[in-house]
Amino acid sequence: MKLKRQLLLVLTISTVLGACAQDQPSFDVKKYTQTEEKKDFLVTIHTSLGDMKAVLYDETPLHRDNFLKLINEGAYDSTTWHRVIKEFMIQGGGIDMKPSTPKRTDRIPAEFDARLFHVKGALAAARQGDRVNPEKASSWCQFYIVQGKKWTKDELTLDQQKLNAGIGKLLQNDKHLALREELIAMQERRDFDGMNKLVMSKASLIESELGISVRKEVRQDRIDAYTTIGGAPHLDDEYTVFGQVVEGFDVIDKIAATKTIREEPIENLYLTIEVEEVSKKKLSKQYGISYPEK
């Protein structure tokens, strides 16, 4: 007996981040640099639910400089958190959503760095999808902060495509009829999370019976962070991370928990942003920041 019903075996996590309306890649802003080499920028994001503080990465200078320019111009004042998805991210910076803002077509070239990833509190740039933006260039104004969730090592290291293909081949063998029927029953009651967990639990069986590997290489620092702190690993190397929240993680949770309609908060959650220069020594002592080695 062959399986006649298509199995839905993928994690149902939204990965599309809306961005400003943009057409052609171009970017040119005034450079903002520290007055002293040993100082860093500390950004404070004020919201009606509390304040968040974040540091910006020197490893992403185009995004850092653009963000600082917009902050110093007061461009983010009176913007809102306009897209919120619990256990994923909170998105703001919709300067282009203001009626008085002229349409812009700039994008910021992607600045990926393997050491900078989407752990909880990551500050990253929104962008248009790959179909119209294959370079993965960032929005000139919109950003998001990751809430995410904690993941297991299997969820991080199993290659979903290989796993799906493997389970499909496995289920063609009638000796796995019970597993086949169990997955069908789960699909009928729309228990997709249960289906994924069940399929992941069969990874070793797939590998031994089909003689294939369904694993993928993941950096150990990412595994450690996502299994203990949490985040949104499916965005890694797809969207530019240019900063990290160091204080106010409870505020991320409060905003993420707000009631929404189609991902838009029912009540306006306004924000303003300011920036100051603080010594790296003080930041390390106060927040335990370990700056990425070059």
DSSP secondary structure, 64-76, as one string: HHHHHHHHHTTTT
- For 77-94, write each residue's pLDDT tens digit: 989 999 999 999 999 999
Q: Is residue 190 part of a domain?
A: yes
Q: What CATH number should be reported for the domain holding residue 97?
A: 2.40.100.10
Please check whether residue 30 lies inside any domain of the structure: no
Spatial CB neighbours of 201, under 8 Å, sequence gap ≥ 6 = none
Contact 93, 79 (CB under 8 A): yes
pLDDT at 4: 25
Asked if residue 100 is part of any domain, the answer here is: yes
232 is a domain residue: yes
- Residue 291 maps to a domain: no
What's the token pair of residue 5?
């019903």
State the pLDDT at residue 80: 97
- The reply to whether 145 and 169 lie within a common domain is no
Look at 15-19, 32-36, 154-158 and tell me which has the smallest mean pLDDT: 15-19
44 with 131, same domain: the answer is yes
Distance separating alpha carbons of residues 120 and 222, to the nearest angstrom = 11
134 plus 272 within the same structural domain: yes
Distance CA 190, CA 178 (A): 18
Do 187 and 271 reside in the same domain of the chain?
no
Give pLDDT tens digits for 232-264.
Answer: 999 999 999 999 999 999 999 999 999 999 999
The answer to whether residue 71 is domain-embedded is yes
Are 61 and 196 contained in the same domain?
Answer: no
User: Cα–Cα distance between 142 and 18 in angstroms, integer?
Assistant: 9
If asked whether residues 92 and 148 sit together in one domain, one would say yes
Residues 201 and 242 occupy one common structural domain: no
pLDDT tens readout for residues 158-209: 999 999 999 999 999 999 999 999 999 999 999 999 999 999 999 999 999 9
* Contact (CB, 8 A) for 125 and 139: yes
| Predicted local distance difference test score (pLDDT) of residue 289 | 81
Q: Which domain holds residue 168?
A: 159-210
Structure tokens at 261: 């309609």
Residue 28 lies in a domain: no
**Mean pLDDT of all residues in the chain?**
87
Of residues 212 and 29, more confidently modeled: 212
In whole angstroms, what separates CA 274 from the centre of its chain? 23
Percent of the chain with pLDDT strictly greater than 70: 86
Query: If you average pLDDT over residues 1-23, what whole number do you get?
Result: 31
Residue 126 and residue 147 in one domain = yes
Q: Is residue 7 part of a domain?
A: no
Looking at the structure, do residues 123 and 174 belong to the same domain, yes or no? no
pLDDT bucket at 292, cuts 50 / 70 / 90:
low
User: How would residue 38 be classed by pLDDT, with cut points 50, 70 and 90?
Assistant: confident
Q: What is the rounded average pLDDT of the residues 22-42?
A: 54
| Co-location of 224 and 193 in the same domain | no
- pTM, two decimal places: 0.84
Quick check: 292 and 54 in contact, CB under 8 A?
no
Regarding whether 171 and 87 lie in a shared domain, the answer is no
pLDDT value at 228 more than 90: yes
Q: How confident is the model at residue 37 (pLDDT cuts 50, 70, 90)?
A: low
Residue 98 has pLDDT above 60, yes or no: yes
Q: CA 264, CA 261: separation in Å to the nearest integer?
A: 5
Tell me: do 129 and 266 sit in the same domain. Answer: yes
Distance of alpha carbon 150 from alpha carbon 154, whole angstroms = 12
Report how many domains make up the chain.
Answer: 2
Backbone φ and ψ of 232, nearest 5°: -130, 75
